[in-house]
Amino acid sequence: MECVLAGGKLQRSRTAFLGETRAAQSVLILGEGNGRFLEAFRRGNASARILCIDSSEQMLLRARYRLLKSGIPLHGITLTVADALNCNLPPGAFDLVVTHFFLDCFPPEQLRPLIGAIANAAQAKAAWLLADFQIPARGMARYRASAIHWLMYMYFRRVTRLAADRLTDPGSHLQAAGFVLNGRAVSDWGLLRSDLWRRGQATSRPSPPSGR
């Protein structure tokens, strides 16, 4: 479905800041899904310990199959089926957190404590990568994105019992947890956003939006 509808755009969003993750040593990937980001990350970083958490066993089996098919050893990679809303993450353990197309699954009342719990598991100078959909501020791009969001939430709420019925911007919660926006790439007429947030930095230096 991803290939038919998005033609590689989602993967480009997931990997927009991959070059910034080469030195990561302890990585938490939440809601990893079927392993697209995991595979790309592992190709560029063979030594990091990686904990992938997803509530879907099917998704993690697909992720595991994807790695094996690509000849990527599973050594150092832990795939755990768990509900991110109710799992005990080790405090201060991870220097990289990845939540691609995951935070948009949660309504505001779940998102704030969830981001707090994830941030608690991140190190003092951790990086946080997140790709997600967004709604541009104005113009035709806004109408287009709003229609796509409406369709997506309607579909996924029916098919997967998704709790959220709209997008909640996680930015203020990340800032409250001490993260600063370090880079942003926007694509597909403003529909897709890829962020690099870092903790332990004084100023925000977002990169200019990329092309459509």
Q: Where do contacts with ligand SAM occur on this chain (CB under 6 A)?
A: 14, 31-33, 37, 53-56, 59, 83-85, 100-102, 105
Instruction: Give SS3 for 86.
Output: helix
> Distance between terminal CA atoms of the chain?
21
User: Please, what is the minimum distance in Å from the beta carbon of residue 33 to ligand SAM?
Assistant: 3
Nearer of residues 29 and 181 to ligand SAM, judged by Cβ: 29
The residue among 192, 12, 31 whose CA lies nearest residue 105 is: 31
If the CB atoms of residues 165 and 204 are measured against ligand SAM, the closer one turns out to be 165
Closest CA to 48 of 15, 76, 28, 79: 76
Shortest Cβ 28–ligand SAM spacing (Å): 12
Kindly give, in sequence order, each residue whose CB lies less than 8 Å from that of residue 185, ignoring residues fewer than 6 positions away: 13, 16, 17, 193, 194, 207, 209, 210
Q: Rounded to the nearest whole angstrom, what is the least distance from the CB of residue 159 to ligand SAM in the complex?
A: 11
CB closer to ligand SAM out of 153 and 189: 153
- Helix, strand or coil for residue 106? coil
Contact of 100 with 37, CB cutoff 8 Å: yes
Q: How far is the CB of 114 from ligand SAM (least distance, A)?
A: 8
Residue 62 or residue 178: which is nearer to ligand SAM going by CB?
62
| Cα–Cα dist 88/73, whole Å | 27
- DSSP H or E run through 179: strand 179-187
Q: Which residue lies nearer to ligand SAM by CB, 23 or 57?
A: 57
Shortest Å, Cβ 115 to ligand SAM: 13
